[in-house]
Amino acid sequence: MKEQISRFLPAECPWGDTLHWFREVASTNTLAKEMAGQGAPHGTVLIAGSQTAGRGRMGRSFSSAEGKGIYLSVILRPECLAQQLMHLTCAVAVSVCDAVEKSCGVRPSIKWINDLVLGGKKLGGILTELSIDKGAIQYAVVGLGLNCTQKAEDFPEEIRDIALSLQSYIGKNVDIPKLTGAIIHELWEMDKHLLSKDFMAAYKKDCITLGQEISIVRANEISHGKAVGLTADGGLVVQFSNGKEETVQSGEVSIRGMYGYV
Ligand code: BTN
């Protein structure tokens, strides 16, 4: 599988040399954090055929059926402060949208901050985890889960209404190694100018949350408002129903459309 994926990487991309493929792991993000702690270099890529404990934001699980999705984590070691890289999840989301568009001819949208969406349903998600020492990043693990060839019955019943795969949306076969190669390629390109906030202009175009009425769940409290803007760091500017405007950061909140998943 490693060779099949590497075929789709440009020869000059060194990340093919630090690519690890596993048939099954608990979570590629968890394993990547272990490997990073043991000194795995920048650009180490972990891919799994399936995960038994795939994780999403806010402690949620990520359904990872064998051979039907892309379950991938990359270890990055940018030399900067965490504060300079608040937009990392946004940059990854845009890069994955670019790869899907180039490889499959359809561009997903983004539901703030980390969900990839097609046809109003969840196509995948990104889980970014940072190790920070005195404000500086020791390493970042960027995890991506992307539904590729699942049929509705392959998803657990509780997410069947809100999840979908790329293949079922485009109605054509999805070549998983080719798409995986395209994603690694885009992430490698992204890494070359990681500190630039230029990603936010593309993110703004892809983000379907902007302009929507949303519910915001914070510390078990639900409030309602309208998403009116994005900051350069990827914060969501919300106008609450009491008229107050506030920027919410991804760490603290979960958002839903007022009338459904998106
Ligand atoms: C989310 O939906 O909130 C993010 C989902 C991220 C899932 C990916 S799959 C590969 C990597 N390993 C994990 O355990 N999670 C991420």
- What is the side-by-side order of every strand in the sheet holding 109-111? 19-25, 44-51, 69-76, 136-147, 121-133, 115-118, 109-111
What is the three-class DSSP state of 137? strand
Task: Note the pLDDT of residue 253.
Answer: 74
Average predicted confidence (pLDDT) for the chain: 95
Asked, as a colleague might, if the bond just before 159 is cis with ω within 30 of 0, I would say no
151 pLDDT higher than 80: yes
Q: Rounded CA gap, 122 and 65, in Å?
A: 15
Helices (H) and strands (E) in the chain, counts: 6, 12
Is the shortest distance between the CB of 114 and ligand 1 below 6 Å? yes
Is the shortest distance between the CB of 27 and ligand 1 below 6 Å? yes
- pLDDT band, residue 252 (cuts 50/70/90): low
Q: Rounded CA gap, 15 and 80, in Å?
A: 21
pLDDT in tens, 125-149: 999 999 999 999 999 999 999 999 9
Please identify, by atom number, the ligand 1 atom nearest to the C-alpha of residue 64: 9
Is the shortest distance between the CB of 250 and ligand 1 below 6 Å? no
pLDDT in tens, 33-67: 999 999 999 999 999 999 999 999 988 999 999 99
Ligand 1 midpoint to CA 68 (Å): 14
pLDDT in tens, 195-231: 998 899 999 999 999 999 999 888 878 889 999 999 9
Is the shortest distance between the CB of 73 and ligand 1 below 6 Å? yes
Q: Rounded CA gap, 80 and 174, in Å?
A: 37
Which of 33, 57, 62 gets mutated to test ligand 1 (max ligand atoms within 8 A of its CB)? 62
**Structure token digits, residue 156:** 């657990």
3 pLDDT higher than 70: yes
Q: What is the amino acid identity at position 14?
A: P
Please identify, by atom number, the ligand 1 atom nearest to the C-alpha of residue 57: 3
